[in-house]
Amino acid sequence: MKVVFRRSDGLAEKIIDVSPSSKLGESRKAAQMLLGLPEDPTYRLVLGRTDQELEDRLNFKEAGVRANDELILASTKHNTASKKVNLKAVSPEKISAPVAKNHISVSRSRNQESLFKLSGWQKASLAGGIFGTLVVFGMFLTNNSEPVSSNVNTALDTPENGSQSSSVDQPNDLPDIQVAPETIAQDEALKLVNSWLNAKTKMNAPPYDRQILNQVATGEQYSKAAGTIDWLIENNAYYSYNSQRIESVGEFYSTEDKAAIQVTVVEDLILYINGRVNSNRSGLKRTEVIYNLQLIDGSWKIASSAVVN
């Protein structure tokens, strides 16, 4: 069934096709990323029809969510659900939202991109301003510590001049200027998802390679995959994949260190338990998944995922 996820500030909404048996928490995390909301603070789901707060542990059926219901993502910092906002009445200068790709309708002004990245001339101006301030400050200290002769020597004077006049000490190093890392492109995000699919063929069958898991996953995604490996080993089971592919690509969103991409994955797989095929968990599977990506120590990894249908 289709459900509308909406930011409490009214700046963006996303229609997601969910399964009634899927957990609210998984879909909330996925929608939170797609709508450009940060992971911290945690957001809560409020059913727009009843203004009732819903618990992550419930599935959509247990929570009484119906088709076409509106679920509002409200910050836990506030105790009441935010009212709808007339987007036409909000000036772009007052809107503060994370940088998003064109694939998602988040209203923002072009000037907000400067919150995340500095252009080349801005970096140079910032470095030059800091450098100049340090030089002036050094001259001030020098001039107040001892008299300076009318024939002032600069830092360019050579020892042969024999001048004893004070010179301005230039700083050895400029202060560190933190430059925001590049956001991940959609093509790179798809490559990471494909790497994840390929890794499953090595993780979910002997020798149950956990090293490759560490290369592509982190956080919740790592924990879930590690749990699957443990279950397979304990039950003398393994998966065999005949084929895997990304059939289609949906929404894509990215910031400096986080991203989300929605894809339809098709897998033809077989689950063997004690050498016998488990027909309930085998066959051609077509799944729509939202993958949440995160930049960890310079490498992009899958942090979590949620099935949306």
Contact 216, 286 (CB under 8 A): no
- Please, which pLDDT band fits residue 171 given cuts at 50, 70 and 90? very low
CA distances, 248 to each of 13, 186, 190, 245, 261 (Å):
21, 13, 11, 9, 11
- CATH number for the domain spanning 7: value is 3.10.20.90
C-alpha torsion sign, points 141, 147, 151, 155: negative
Q: CB count, 10 Å around CB of 175?
A: 10
pLDDT score, position 287? 92
What is the distance between the alpha carbons of residues 142 and 151, in angstroms, rounded to a whole number? 15
Task: List the single range of 74-83, 145-154, 278-287 with lowest mean pLDDT.
Answer: 145-154
Q: Which residue in this structure is represented by tokens 């910092």?
A: 77
Residue 117, domain member (yes or no):
no
Residue 6, domain member (yes or no):
yes
pLDDT over threshold 80, residue 290: yes
- CATH number for the domain spanning 217: value is 3.10.450.50
pLDDT digits (tens, 9 = 90+) for 106-120: 333 334 333 334 444
pLDDT score, position 240? 97
What is the distance between the alpha carbons of residues 22 and 18, in angstroms, rounded to a whole number? 7
- Please, which pLDDT band fits residue 281 given cuts at 50, 70 and 90? very high
- The larger pLDDT score, comparing residue 39 to residue 35, is at 35
Residue 234, domain member (yes or no):
yes
Q: Which of 34, 55, 78 represents a domain boundary (last residue)?
A: 78
**Domain limits at 21?**
2-78
What's the token pair of residue 158? Answer: 């050579």
pLDDT over threshold 60, residue 214: yes
User: What is the percent of the chain where pLDDT is above 70?
Assistant: 64
Q: Which of 78, 111, 136 represents a domain boundary (last residue)?
A: 78
pLDDT score, position 53? 92
Residue 155, domain member (yes or no):
no
pLDDT score, position 104? 38
Among 15-29, 113-127, 287-301, the range of highest mean pLDDT? 287-301
Q: Which of 78, 105, 137 represents a domain boundary (last residue)?
A: 78
Output the CA angle 5-10-16, nearest 5 degrees.
Answer: 15
Q: CB count, 10 Å around CB of 182?
A: 11
- The larger pLDDT score, comparing residue 276 to residue 108, is at 276
- 3 state DSSP class of 110: helix
Residue 50, domain member (yes or no):
yes
Which amino acid is residue 148, in one-letter code? V
Record the pTM: 0.54
What is the distance between the alpha carbons of residues 277 and 269, in angstroms, rounded to a whole number? 10
Mean pLDDT taken over the chain = 74
Strand partners, 23: 59
DSSP type of residue 169 = P
Question: Cα torsion for 47, 304, 255, 14, to the nearest 10°?
Answer: -30
Residue 197, domain member (yes or no):
yes
pLDDT over threshold 60, residue 173: no
What is the distance between the alpha carbons of residues 73 and 155, in angstroms, rounded to a whole number? 60
CA atoms within 13 A on the CB side of 30: 29
Q: What is the mean pLDDT of residues 20-27?
A: 82
pLDDT score, position 15? 84
What is the distance between the alpha carbons of residues 4 and 111, in angstroms, rounded to a whole number? 29
Residue 90, domain member (yes or no):
no
Number of domains in the chain: 2
Residue 53, domain member (yes or no):
yes
pLDDT digits (tens, 9 = 90+) for 224-263: 999 999 999 999 999 999 999 999 999 898 888 999 999 9
